[in-house]
Every structure is written in structure tokens, then in C-alpha cells.
Amino acid sequence: MKMAGLNAIQTYVAWNFHEPQPGQYEFTGDHDVEHFIQLAHELGLLVILRPGPYICAEWDMGGLPAWLLEKESIVLRSCDPDYLAAVDKWLGVLLPKMRPLLYQNGGPIITVQVENEYGSYYTCDYNYLRFLQKHFQYHLGEDVLLFTTDGVHERLLQCGALQGLYATVDFGAGVNITAAFLIQRKSEPKGPLVNSEFYTGWLDHWGQPHSTVKTEVVASSLHDILSRGASVNMYMFIGGTNFAYWNGANTPYQAQPTSYDYDAPLSEAGDLSEKYFAVRDVIQQFEKVPEGPIPPSTPKFAYGRVGLKKLKTVEEALNLLCPSGPVKSVYPLTFIQVKQYFGFVLYRTTLPQDCSDPTPLSSPFNGVHDRAYVSVDGVPHGVLERDIVITLNITGKAGATLDLLVENMGRVNYGSFINDFKGLISNLTLASKILTDWEIFPLDMEDAVCNHLGTWDGHDSGCAHSASDYTLPAFYVANFSIPSGIPDLPQDTFIQFSGWTKGQVWINGFNLGRYWPARGPQMTLFVPQHILVTSAPNTIIVLELERAPCGRGGPELCTVEFVDRPVIGAVKTHSHVPADQHQDSWLDRV
């Protein structure tokens, strides 16, 4: 980044990443934001801090902790007293850590953003912004430079800007730059022109082509911005990864994939691109860029194919996944109600009647958030999916066990519906009759993966006969060794799931994220070298939710392959945001 002529980095702080449970704070290891900022300082880069409390960022719930939803009626991003109390505690922990890192205190932080694109949110609560302004100044000092960011519409700055907070705008390549900065000038007649988010690419959703923005369009718009003497932050300059369950979603419900490559100048793996050099060429027309060689892309290694063996189905592993046993309830409870914020919950009841003929199992109020893998007495029947499949025909005898493994695919991160409850959020019906008497199993996947699953002896547990195209959700495991005698190993790699359908993958206990080659566009997951080892075998655990390549008793093997190039999918090129995007989701942002 520095070699491209950039002099500052802009970074979010995700509240839910650092306070996963109320009062439980994490600031070490991957959560060490202070070290990250100090590292930027050591490299001679300034820092623009974006601590929210809401950040959007295509991150689960826009960075807000899911536990806020324990008060079901809470009005997020407003003066709701319970919301403000939680924000007050959080800022009281985070901001004192940031104060020594401010520029005026010898650190690299030159300015701090308050909230994020608040004008796009329905509450339009000026007292909330004043509350944040007061608390930021209390913890950081009266002399801290605070700013806001909003899209280039007058109505957005009407609710997103506040006197005393410097108003900036965000927009992508191909936008009318003169008109965009005129919008900022109406709020800020004097001071620098600032595009706080200049979109160098765009985000992806499962089931849609990979988004790109043409290099020449980005370079041309960047030149136009800099020729006006404006300041600009390129969002994103380097792509990223939504490891584990951290991806967000938009409405109508569309979850974002694990990769956040974003078609950025530096890829998800930090690799150089044509766009990087084009951006650098533009910048050096206005600023001197550092001399010397540009660090090359990191080496990648294709470790090859690895065969996996089946361990157990989720149902067979319930004693490990939920050792405390189920929560019992007449009607279904949400993830929040059973203190499960991410991942999976198994809902179980019995069929109250004979269903010898196919009988509709329905979620009449679209209450499956987000996908439910349905089985009856161990026979898979298919998937219920939010907004897409709300009815599924099932068969079984009265008293048969009905299981729904429900997956949280990521909470909405933008717009009016970020209070996104997960699980079965309304009743299910069987032949129009409400199902009752549920056993609800919150599943601790991380503990099972780290402490139990990798030590099991693999076997094919089989499943009851099913005429469907689905197999029961099940775990698969493999170990592979990296030669210790080869220099510079381990190296970054990418894992590919040819023949698999949809699931989650862990390597050495690290949750890489979701794979879904059946829907795309992402076909490989980035595997950073630091999670691999040469001193011992590496353990891969895969949770396949729908259908494994070896799950039907055929000759196919359950293999994954480590390759040295990413496969993100088909390319869709546009100059900014696709025209078919939902107005509450993204149009206000460009």
C-alpha cells in the first residue's frame, strides 16, 4: 500500500468481534487492534479509525453484537436506552485504548469516524449522534477530529451529518464527481473535499456472478478526484476474507460469501493486480511515490488432493455438539433465545400424524432464518430456505422424529432490517397444523472441532434409504502433512471443493468459513499459511450439509484439493452498483 503512494490506512473496528458476549472483551491475537495500528505507525502510515459502533462493512449485523437482540423490541442505532447503555460500556472500553494512538499524542490516528452512513438508516436520531459525539470527545479529547460518511444524496446528509462532525461523502467509479462533491459542499462549505469510500470494486452474493469494476474506469475516476485536490480513501484497497461466520447479508435476503476479494487492487491474498499498478500510476501524477522495489505477491503452493473419511452425522454427534442437552419449548425459540449467536441449531419434534402421502411442511410466515436441512427418522427430505423455499413435502409415520438443522447464513448488515433474528422465528406447520413440543439443540461446533472431532476414527455411518438428492449433514476428516525439508513452507494456498455442495470447513481448528460451489460464485477458500504447520499433520474437518461426493455409496471419493490459484467464479462487470440491487440495500451508497 505504501509503495503505491498511499499515506494512510482506514480501518474498521467491529464491536461484535471484540465483545462476543456482554462484558467479555477480546483484544489479543487476531483481535489485537492496538498492535495493528502500531504496525501501521511503524511503517510510516497514518490511520483513519472507524470504530462505529455500527460499521456496515458487509460484516455480520454491521458489527453490532447479536446479543443486543435479547431485548426483542430494541431500536438499534437510536436513543433506545438499552442500546445506549451497551454503546456507552463498549466505547468506555475501546476508546481509552485508542487515545494514546491519536496523532496529537504521538500516534498515527489522524481522524475518527462517528457511526457510518447514518443517513441511510430510518431512525434519523440527532440525539443519538450527539450522544456519540459527546462520548467520543470525552474519551478521546476535545481536540479529536471527528467525521461522518454518507452517500451522495442530500437527504442522506440531512440525517447523517451533525454540526461539529466533519461531513464527508462516499461514491464509486463512474459517478458524476462534480455533483458528488457539490453535495458535500452543501454540508461543508469550507474544508477538504473527501471521498471516504471510493469503491474500487464491489461486493458479491452467493448465487450471483462475481462483481468487478473495470481498471480503466477506476483509474479515470481516481484521476478526476485527485485533480480536484480532494482526499480519497479506496474501499477496498486490499480484499479480505469473512472467516468463520462473519459475513453479512443484504435485503431481500442475500448472504455474502466467505471471500471479500472485492476486485480490489490487492487481492484477498494480498496479491498485486493490474488495477494496483494503474492506481499507482495515477497517484504518482499527483504525489511522489516511494522509491524501491514493490514487494511481490506472496508465493502460493498447490499441496494437491486430500482424501477425507466420514466421521459421523450431526445427529450422531449431538452428545458432543450439545453436551448440556436440549432446551424444551412448546414453540420454536430463536437463536438469541437459546444464547446461540452464530452457526447452527438443531430443532427436533415428532410428527403428530401419519404422512404416508407427501405432506407439506411449511413456514407460512417465511420464518426459516436462514436455511433448514430437513430429515424424518434419519431420512433427508430437502432444504427450507428464507425467501426462496417455504414449503417442503415430507413423509413419515406418526411419532417419527422430525429434525431441522438450521443455519445462520449471516445477519443483514445494511438498511432498516439489521435486527435480523435467526433460527425458526415463527411457527412451522404440517398440513396447516402448527407443530409444537420442540427440543432445541444449540450446537457448539467450535468446541467439538477443536477438542473432539479430530480424534474420532472415521467410518461411514450410512443413512436410512432416501430417494432424494440429499444426504444427512455430516462431518468428514482428513490429515495431510507438509514436507518439512522444503524451504519456505508452509505457504498460502486455496482449498477447492469439487463435487461437494455446501458446508463449513476448519483447518487445524481454524474456521475458514463457508463453501458453496453448488451456488457460487466462490469456488475456492483462501488458506493463509499461518494456520498451517510443518511440524505435525494438518487436520481438515468438513461439515457437508447437503450432499458429499462420496455420500451416495458410489465410486466417487470425498476429496478436496489445495491449489495455488483462487477460483472466484464467473465475472460480471459494471461501472458501479448493478441496476437490479434492492433500493433499501445499496443504492444509497453509490
According to DSSP, residue 299 is labeled P
Q: Which residues pair with 171 in a beta bridge?
A: 198
Q: For the chain, how big is the Rg over CA atoms in Å?
A: 25
556 is catalytic: no
Q: Which amino acid is at 1?
A: M
Report the run of H or E that residue 311 belongs to, with start and end.
Answer: strand 309-313
Cβ-count burial 44-66 (b if 16+ within 10 Å, e if not)? ebbbbbbbbbbbbbbbbbbbbbb
Q: Which of 58, 115, 197, 407 is catalytic?
A: 197
Cβ distance 336 to 69 under 8 Å?
A: yes
User: Which residues fall within 8 angstroms of residue 267, CB to CB, at 6 or more apart?
Assistant: 238, 239, 261, 273, 566
Nearest 5°: phi and psi at 219? -65, -40
70 is catalytic: no
DSSP secondary structure letters along 429-484: EETTEE---EEEEE--HHHHHHHTGGGSPP--------SSS----EEEEEEE---T
Cβ distance 529 to 507 under 8 Å?
A: no
Long-range contacts formed by 191-194: CB under 8 A, 24+ apart? 191/166, 192/229, 192/230, 192/231, 193/228, 193/229, 193/230, 193/231, 194/147, 194/166, 194/168, 194/169, 194/230, 194/231, 194/232, 194/233
Cβ distance 350 to 437 under 8 Å?
A: yes
In the chain, the largest separation of any two C-alpha atoms, in whole Å, equals 77
How far apart, in whole angstroms, are the C-alpha atoms of residue 351 and residue 250?
A: 35
How far apart, in whole angstroms, are the C-alpha atoms of residue 495 and residue 512?
A: 10
C-alpha cell at 89: 460500556
Cβ distance 431 to 353 under 8 Å?
A: yes
What is the Cβ-side half-sphere exposure of residue 482, based on CA atoms within 13 angstroms?
Answer: 22
Cβ distance 435 to 352 under 8 Å?
A: yes
According to DSSP, residue 281 is labeled H
Q: Which residues pair with 313 in a beta bridge?
A: 474
Q: Which of 19, 115, 117, 188 is catalytic?
A: 117
Of 410, 421, 374, residue with least CA distance to 516: 410
Cβ distance 497 to 523 under 8 Å?
A: yes
Q: Which residues are catalytic?
A: 117, 197
